[in-house]
Amino acid sequence: MVPAREALERLREGNLRFVSNLRGSHTDLSHDRRAELAAGQQPFAIVLGCSDSRVPAELVFDQGLGDLFVIRVAGNIVAPSQVGSVEFSAARYNTRLVVVLGHSQCGAILATLEELRRPAENQSLNLRAIVDRVRPSVEGLLATGLGDDVGALVDQAVRANIAASVDHLRHGSPVLERLIRDEGLLVVGAEYSLETGVVDFFDVPP
């Protein structure tokens, strides 16, 4: 089992390599590694990220086969299936770090802001389910002075949505609450910049 702080440092170092256009010699994609993992896995971090094609967690953090337990959904939202997936890896594989990974210019955030300003007719109920989960973390921002600055509004909304997902994981699951309290599970937020490739970790408990 890799302790949460060590896992976090591995991700930071991996992202630095990614930004520097390097690849770690430890990042194993070999046939031998694939065969080894057929018998089981021991991911050192869980990443709940957005489905955006520009943000593949394994590449962004320069990790190889079997290193990360990745859950991807538009808007990096937290619904019961995502909570269950995090619980599964944390409990079964003793993974002690959970990262909620959002990103700049998130399409789900933009779609939610558009919906709040101009409700769409005949919107898919499935898409609305995503929008409705993003909505509480961003609708309050429209009442602030940011409403006239779309760029700043989206930036703040991305962060608010990540923070909401982090809070949900920390306080919305008895299983995760117990692991946080008793076994060192850490849940943190992170934002990936599409422009620079840098991941900014935030909302990290002291």
More confident residue, 206 or 10: 10
Which helix (H) or strand (E) segment holds residue 72: the answer is strand 68-72
Its pTM surpasses 0.75: yes
pLDDT, position 138: 81
Which helix (H) or strand (E) segment holds residue 59: the answer is helix 57-60
Which DSSP category does 196 fall into? T
Which DSSP category does 85 fall into? H
Q: Rounded CA gap, 15 and 85, in Å?
A: 24
pLDDT, position 139: 80
pLDDT, position 38: 86
| Environment class of 167 (CB within 10 Å of its CB; exposed 0-12, middle 13-18, buried 19+) | middle
Q: Give the pLDDT confidence of 136-164 residue by residue, as tens digits.
A: 888 878 777 666 677 888 899 999 999 99
Interval 166-190 mean pLDDT = 98
* Structural domains of the chain, ranges and CATH numbers in brackets: 4-202 (3.40.1050.10)
> Does the pLDDT value for residue 27 go beyond 80?
no
